[in-house]
Structure 1
Amino acid sequence: MAGRTAPLRLGALLAAALGMASPVLAQPAPKDLPGRIEVLPVRSTTPSGTEFLRGVRGAEASLAGELRLPPGPATNRVPAVVLVHGSGGISGSTDLWARQLNEAGIAAFILDSFAGRGITSTVTDQDLLNSLAMMVDAYRALDLLAAHPRIRADRIAVMGFSKGAVAAVYSASTRFRGLYGDPQNRFAAHIGLYTPCNVGYEGDAQVAAVPIRLHHGVVDDYVPIAPCRDYVERLRAAGADATLTEYPNGQHSFDNPMAPALVDVPSAQSTRNCRMQEGQSGVINLAGTNEQFVQKTSACVAIGAHTGHDPTDAAAVRANVQAFLKEALFR
């Protein structure tokens, strides 16, 4: 014990000798702490994009997620949000979202789609894991939470970021839910931040009768906003409760306070110049052609993009999402 406290005593003596205040370890405020943390296994599968669209399950995958329950009695059942990370994996921004959800009385389930598959990042190689496979993970997380004694099964939302936003937004599809979801469970709301909307899937405007909310930065050159404007217009024309909120200064990942205002990502794969459409047998073609899209060789794929934090837009998106979830999950 003495050996552990000696450095602290030495630090205090040194501070006193120099006329400085003694060092004190900062203590987090109680509101910043979850009531309980559980790390839960998630059994999923890993289909390729074509396999997913054909309804093929793919190889089994053993994943995990961290459930953070808000403070409160152990008998309380609370709403929950499944957080689906992007190409860079789980970040400090994900942690901040989870903390803010807990403060609002909502459980957060931080789903890890990478570690169990031996992946660290897909930024430079998106073929390491198809975005659609992460939708299977999201459905399995939904099933897991729906059976949890502390979670309200009818008040589980899903929120995704970039690559993970494909899972969060398109899991509202009645077709995809029919292929991979449990008919007993469905998400109560779908939220996507800077969602890749540039692939048109068969029947993707036919969605569950639940709200879909997209949030996107106007100046995003990694995942551009224009395809999401088109997709939300198609959803609304089909009768869906869908909106797109635009943030004028938002770069990609503009909600991440750990990032500077502008970050060059020179090796990032970006499909900002690509428009794609599902063809026969689940093959993704360049829109208006029979030419198959290939991540590593299609001419429309760009290398290099930017991310960056904008404090004003970040505060706005967090306030907008929090207000929406209070309405959607506590009604």
Structure 2
Amino acid sequence: MKKFVIAVVAIVAVVAGLLQVEVVRNGIVAMGLPDFPDWPEPQATLRVGDSGKIYYPTATPFDLDVIFAGMTEATPTTGLGYFSMPQNVAPNTQVPAMILLPGSGGIAPGREQEYAAFLNTLGIAAFVVEYYEPRGLIKGTNYIVRVSGVTEFDIISDAYSALKLLASHPQIDDQRIGVMGFSYGGMATRLAMDDRFRQQLAPQSSGFALHVDVYGPCFQNLNTGQTNGAPLLTLRGTEDKSNDLAACKLREQEMRNIGVDVETHIYQGAGHAWENFAPREMKDESPYLSGCEISYDEQGLSYLNGERIMHYPADASRVERITKRLSSSDKFSGCLDYGYIVGNDKKTKQQAYSDVQAFLTKHFF
């Protein structure tokens, strides 16, 4: 408990030092955040020959209730992604594609771009989503501020926007576009299976053709009743405490109960982020949730042990929502812990690549 209190104090100090604290409205302190960048006009469609950095239209809902209410309060956003096609795609040929969602640390050396290159060798197009920079949060921004300023629901919004973008490419099969996420992005990938997201964010689409969750935490329960039926692959390690394996097993069974084909692989001795170039080590100060469940009602409002987690004014802004999320940290004192293994594990990486390839081959080709 002492460590938790120290952590909360540290968060408050970081926020006070990096962000301009402004006014109090209905008990919520509003913080100043960096402006969204002034970027080139986003493109809603892709053309043959497009590659590299792509700006595309998306939106920033921040919370689930904003999505379920129709996205009317979401902030229009110019998204950023990195697009690559396989070499030598023949004219009049269509290939599958994968959208890659990074972890909370952002695009990591050894992971997203390397997976994109691997997918290209398999004949699959790749689109790596950068979800921090479009919201004014750059690599130099403090980690706590970055991860508090972009939620899993913002990431899901970006993923469905990227789905619509890729579907417009003449050489991409719009019925074979999947999504793969790592850690924070893996959590978003699995949550995005709930068909209510497709209905709100891409209603003209049939949704993702498959989902790959790579060590995404499992403490959230959307009470999902329906998906589009696409399969799910999950990859986790026995030594990754950020993944409560009992909770993950429960989430996966919930998907099976509504007819989803779920394939799971748990790697003995593996930690977190085994693809990263950074050496494997125990990160003693890295926080994670274990032993509790955040549940959502039909409106998209969140509860912990039956108690509403956050209350907002009806017209709460994004900065107010961010501040409230930070100030609600004390509610998780009973299930917040620290320390898990992170970093390069060549053996697990090789096995994971093999399992991903087999899953994609099974469902794409």
Smaller-chain TM-score range? 0.7 to 0.9
Residue 52, structure 1, aligned to residue 70, structure 2: no
The residue number in structure 2 matching 1:322 is 357
Would you say the 8 A contact 1:123–1:269 is kept in 2? no
The residue number in structure 2 matching 1:156 is 177
1:65 deviates by 0.9
Paired with 1:271 and 1:123, the residues of 2 have a C-alpha distance of 17
Q: Which amino acid aligns with 2:228?
A: A
Residue 88, structure 1, aligned to residue 105, structure 2: yes
Residue 278, structure 1, aligned to residue 293, structure 2: no
TM-score by length of 2: 0.74
Would you say the 8 A contact 2:101–2:129 is kept in 1? yes
CA distance change for structure 1 residues 314 and 276 in 2, over 3 Å: closer, same or farther? Answer: same
Q: Secondary structure at the match of 2:226?
A: coil
Q: Which amino acid aligns with 1:116?
A: P
Q: Which amino acid aligns with 1:249?
A: G
Q: Secondary structure at the match of 1:220?
A: coil
1:37 deviates by 2.9
1:83 deviates by 0.5
The residue number in structure 2 matching 1:199 is 220
Query: Could you list the runs of 5+ residues in structure 2 that have no partner in the other structure?
Result: 1-48, 311-324
1:118 deviates by 1.5
Aligned length in residues: 292
Q: Secondary structure at the match of 1:182?
A: coil
Among candidates 241, 261, 264, match of residue 241 of structure 1: 261
Residue 215, structure 1, aligned to residue 230, structure 2: no
1:304 deviates by 4.7
The residue number in structure 2 matching 1:264 is 283
Would you say the 8 A contact 2:166–2:172 is kept in 1? yes
Residue 290, structure 1, aligned to residue 307, structure 2: yes
Q: Secondary structure at the match of 1:45?
A: strand
- The one-character-per-residue Cα deviations of 1:199-232 (angstroms, maximum 9, x if unpaired) are 1113x25211111111111211223322111011
Alignment of 1:30-41 (within 5 A): 37-41=51-55
- The one-character-per-residue Cα deviations of 1:17-40 (angstroms, maximum 9, x if unpaired) are xxxxxxxxxxxxxxxxxx973322
Would you say the 8 A contact 2:78–2:134 is kept in 1? yes
Instruction: Name the Cα RMSD after superposition.
Output: 2.2
Paired with 1:94 and 1:329, the residues of 2 have a C-alpha distance of 20
Paired with 1:128 and 1:163, the residues of 2 have a C-alpha distance of 13
Q: Secondary structure at the match of 1:297?
A: helix
TM-score by length of 1: 0.81
Q: Secondary structure at the match of 1:255?
A: coil
1:265 deviates by 5.6
1:289 deviates by 2.2
1:311 deviates by 1.9
- The one-character-per-residue Cα deviations of 1:67-111 (angstroms, maximum 9, x if unpaired) are 111111452321110001110111221121111101111111111
Q: Which amino acid aligns with 1:277?
A: S
Query: Could you list the runs of 5+ residues in structure 1 that have no partner in the other structure?
Result: 1-34
After alignment, is 139-148 or 302-311 more displaced? 302-311
After alignment, is 52-61 or 207-216 more displaced? 52-61
The residue number in structure 1 matching 2:186 is 165
1:283 deviates by 2.2
1:305 deviates by 4.0
